[in-house]
Amino acid sequence: MPYISSPWASSSSWGKECPAATSLEISQFRTFFLFHRASTITTTAMGSSSSPMSADEDIRNVPAEGVSYFTPAQIPPAGTGLGSKRPDRDAIPKLFTPLTLRGTTFPNRVWLSPLSQYSADDGHATDWHLTHLGGILQRDPGLTFVEATGVQARGRITPQDMGLWKDSQIAPLARITEFAHSQGQKIAIQLAHAGRKASTVAPWLSMNAAAPVSDGGWPDDVVGPSAIP
């Protein structure tokens, strides 16, 4: 099996010192990701080091560029194929090779579809969206899509859909975008209008019920491209 970069390997000092970070197989890397930060913090705090560094070696914890708070730069980002380092292993599958489209290079071809959460607060992304997408972004998609986001209030599927029709909705989305960039990851958004599917309820409540006005529904203001009710 070939190797995929992990957040451990993205730290130059850890990449050199931790054999696990440079011998990671695809079948192992997801589990490995779950532990990387806690392990890094614990072992660093204990002063563990298998080979002492010379005084002139650069061991700075390099910050991610263009991020408004400190977070370590991920070089290369998680999900970057590193190729096979052992002759008895297979070549890296195409799925984990970069793809360049119109000048943008994606580190792999595992892309996340938009996934509506029906959990927004008057169209605003919340901590739920940050943690939901953040956990996925830490783990490697070549591109992550933010869920269907209504360009009008009446263009939402449900009253709890994400929206981008007023300025106050920009900041929470920008926070998610900054987190994506802090991890060296690409992020996109699905701008949407539900048309005549608008003003319904989250699918776990009902697959066909209209949202009541008392719960934020707008049954008298549903618009679509045809006259079909």
Ligand X SMILES: Cc1cc2nc3c(=O)[nH]c(=O)nc-3n(C[C@H](O)[C@H](O)[C@H](O)COP(=O)(O)O)c2cc1C
Binding residues for ligand X (CB under 6 A)? 113-116, 147-148, 190
113 burial (CB, 10 Å; 0-12 / 13-18 / 19+) is: exposed
Whichever of 67 and 189 has its CB closer to ligand X, that residue is 189
Phi/psi region, residue 44 (left: phi>0; alpha: psi -120 to 50; beta: rest), is alpha
Distances (CA, A) of 214 to 210, 211, 219: 11, 8, 11
Whichever of 140 and 147 has its CB closer to ligand X, that residue is 147
Q: How far is the CB of 123 from ligand X (least distance, A)?
A: 14
Whichever of 64 and 110 has its CB closer to ligand X, that residue is 110
Question: Which residue is associated with the tokens 């292993």?
Answer: 89
Whichever of 114 and 224 has its CB closer to ligand X, that residue is 114
- Residue with nearest beta carbon to ligand X: 113
C-alpha to C-alpha distance for 12 and 31, rounded to whole angstroms: 21
Q: How far is the CB of 113 from ligand X (least distance, A)?
A: 3
C-alpha to C-alpha distance for 192 and 188, rounded to whole angstroms: 13
Q: How far is the CB of 164 from ligand X (least distance, A)?
A: 13
Whichever of 48 and 113 has its CB closer to ligand X, that residue is 113
Q: How far is the CB of 190 from ligand X (least distance, A)?
A: 5
Tell me, what DSSP letter sits at residue 167? G
Q: Are 229 and 222 in contact (CB under 8 A)?
A: no
Q: How far is the CB of 106 from ligand X (least distance, A)?
A: 17
